[in-house]
Amino acid sequence: MAVGDIVLQMSAHDAYFAPSAPVLRSADLAIGQIEVPHTTESDVAGITIPSPPSDPEALASMARAGFAIGTVAGNHAYDLGTRGVLDTIRAAERQGIQTTGTGANLAAAEAPAVVRCDGMRIGVVSFNCVGPRESWATSKKAGSAYVKVLTHYDLDDMNPGNPPQVYTFCDRGSLARMTDAIAAAKEELDVVVTALHKGYGHTPARIDDYEYEVSRAAIDAGADAVIGHHAHIMRGVEMYRGRAIYHGLGNFVTVTSALTPSSDSDSEELKAWATRRKEMFGFEPDPGLPAYPFHPESRNTAIAVLDVDDDGSIRAGLIPCWIDDDARPVPLPHDAQGEAVATYIESITRRAGLDTTFTWDSDVVRVK
């Protein structure tokens, strides 16, 4: 099983995982995205959207919920510099969570996390597709494994001020590094899952050109599934060459007070972000959910499910979840609420132009 972004910046995090932990612990392997550094470092190395470090001990709640692998490549990975990168890896390891996607150098960041499940060797690799450049690892610098994405703006008519057409595509060199890493992992392992930090944030249904390019390249290189996160809202599910691409698994446990400035906040970056959020994404957080400052539609979320048979064949699906009034993701059975979330996921899949079918199989929605 796999989920999207995990942000642990409150207290008593076990309570936020309580509804989902029994489901996650039933999996042979559960994977989650560790979104922010877990460190006591306070010296900020870079900032895009303000996010303070999380307590290293908070990862114990993630481990107790059943997670064995944490993907870490992302835009916040280098917010607290080299120490933040390495502290997060060590903090996860102390709790029995393997990480992938960051490291002391680029080779370490690209290396898979590997577990054995019923005799099968399962590997997970993790790549950041959204920058910033300061977050990228090099041969001599800590940071994220990454794919560089380029943006081209084309003005269809020359009237000044008209909105341009936006095209996005992957840099060939960094895309080749990703596909080489996936192919090398597939040569050694039975199953390879690729996690991609990608997508335009806080906006329903949108999937940009580069997202198809990088996700399909991962499958072509040997990935058995692609799991996306970063946008903090669900995206559609694509089937490509018989493999599932979850273009965005949205939020899971994402509890923070960092994105809603108080009236006396002295953070200019936080105030600017609050203004920009309203201008760019058209929403303000629900004051009734102070720990959950995200788009209202993002309360629809899911747990991705991959059933791997002895012959290596894979059945993909998802478990619909709803983030409740206590900011807890709650797995839903095949009832009215579960149907509503599944219908939402199917609707954003259709709006993206994908023809994936969704069929209930007990309490799992199968995708084909």
pLDDT tens across 189-240, in order? 999 999 999 999 999 999 999 999 999 999 999 999 999 999 999 999 999 9
Half-sphere exposure of 368 (CA within 13 A, CB side): 8
The predicted model scores a pTM of: 0.95
pLDDT attached to residue 248: 98
Give residue 263's pLDDT: 56
Architecture of the 2-367 domain? 4-Layer Sandwich (3.60)
Q: How many CA atoms lie within 13 A of 323 on its CB side?
A: 30
* pLDDT value of position 266: 64
Helix (H) or strand (E) holding 210: helix 209-221
336 is written with which tokens? 């009215």
pLDDT tens-place string over residues 304-317: 999 999 888 999 99
Helix axes 209-221, 172-188, angle to 10 degrees: 30
pLDDT of 211 reads 98
Give Cα separations from 72 to 24, 31, 157, 278, 315 (angstroms).
19, 11, 42, 28, 26
Low-confidence residues of the chain: pLDDT under 70: 45-51, 259-267, 270, 273
Confidence at residue 268, expressed as pLDDT on a 0 to 100 scale: 74
pLDDT at position 277, please?
72
Q: What local confidence, expressed as pLDDT, does residue 240 receive?
A: 98
Q: What is the pLDDT of residue 281?
A: 77
Sketch the domain layout of the chain as residue ranges.
Answer: 2-367
Strands (E), the chain: 2-8, 31-34, 69-71, 98-100, 102-103, 113-117, 120-128, 143-144, 149-154, 165-170, 191-198, 225-230, 237-240, 243-246, 251-255, 300-308, 314-323, 329-331, 358-361, 364-367
The number of CA neighbours under 13 Å toward the Cβ of 52 is 16
Measured from the Cβ of residue 169, the count of other Cβ atoms closer than 10 Å reads 15
